Amino acid sequence: MEILNFTEEHNQFRDRLKDFLVEEVTPFGDQWEEDKIVPKSVWQKMGQGGFLCTDVAAEYGGMGGDFLYSLIVAEEMTKTWITGLATPLHSDIVVPYISSFGSEKLKQKYLPGCVSGDIVTAVAMTEPGAGSDLASIATTAVEEEDEVVIDGSKTFISNGLNADLVVVAAKDPAVENPYEALSLYVVDSQTPGFSTGRHLEKMGMWSQDTAELFFSKCCIPKKNRLGEKGMGFLMLMDKLQQERLMCAIMAVTGAERILEWITDYCKQTSVSGKPLARSQVVQFALVEMTTDVKLGRTYVEKLIADHMEKKEIIADTSMAKYWTTEMLNRLANRALDLCGDFAMSEKCPIVRAWRDAKIMTIFAGTNEIMKNIAAKFMGL
């Protein structure tokens, strides 16, 4: 019995997306890796095709689709092995803060552009001195009459260069409790006092623009605050379940893509006149890798079903995020070993996949943090 039930509309959507990616994305991946960024025009094409923010209501330009549409986009984007076009980050991690917690005016102002691709978004939580620890955030937001003045810096911000709109986590310095001091604000990239710093060089995900962001007396309207003052931590916790589930989806899909490629490679590559796949050692490796992937897929699909039923699965998504991303790295390592000498060449797609996989154990909360969260829910 299938865990997830896709309708004909879902299947047609997937087919349209596949065709789009073959035409507009895959042929340009190598160039984007060299450029270290994806052109914003591609975001607009994604929007025009109806592939961004699929859950946004029709009144704001979206299709009002269920989470399976988000799943389809995440899966098909991951299969391209092109990480720079970070549409799941935009559509399913950042924009939901606006659609869930923004005022009606904010939603009317920004959501249509997010759907069309005219607005690219980022979320700014990580700071030079605060990684996964939200309580250590130092960026301040001082509310004065109808305005908010933001000062501080953020780093390792995905979509940092392309972003037109940033959801910023900042604290009120007058509030002692760090969790009660935190609020979320929407900041337009054209706002005076906002600036983009270095385009950060990374081990992997080269085409994904990652940058530093700076706020120096950055003055925004108070109406750009999301939700009530001091509710930022709770809003972040509310959305981290979906963020970590998206990570698990991409990790499992990435592992499936690696497995597919390396299996074909071992069948087609011969050593001493015999295909690699005829070697018992290689067979055992592929069977073990396949088992890991199947276990991961089943677990993640169960969590997707629970998430769609609005269940609280914070501990499970934390465990899934940690296990699937570790599994992805195990598979990438093993696939690289099976490639032999070919693994020394950039022409080997597993080389890029191996580089890109490592960060997934770190972002959206490190895997050590995931284990801490799960341990707390287990009463340990």
- Catalytic residues, which ones? 243
What's the token pair of residue 201? 């060089």
Paired residues of 154 in beta bridges: 213
**Which amino acid makes up residue 198?**
R
3-state DSSP assignment of residue 216: strand
Is 205 within 8 Å of 245 (Cβ atoms)?
Answer: no
DSSP string, 17-48: HHHHHHHHTGGGHHHHHHHTS--HHHHHHHHH
| Tokens 């989806």, residue located | 249
Neighbours of 128 (CB within 10 A): 12
Is 152 within 8 Å of 215 (Cβ atoms)?
Answer: yes
For 149, list phi and psi in degrees, rounded to 5. Answer: -110, 120
DSSP string, 121-156: EEEE--BTTBSS-GGG---EEEEETTEEEEEEEEEE
Closest CA to 143 of 208, 58, 228, 244: 228
Closest CA to 199 of 84, 89, 121: 84
Query: DSSP assignment, residue 86?
Result: -
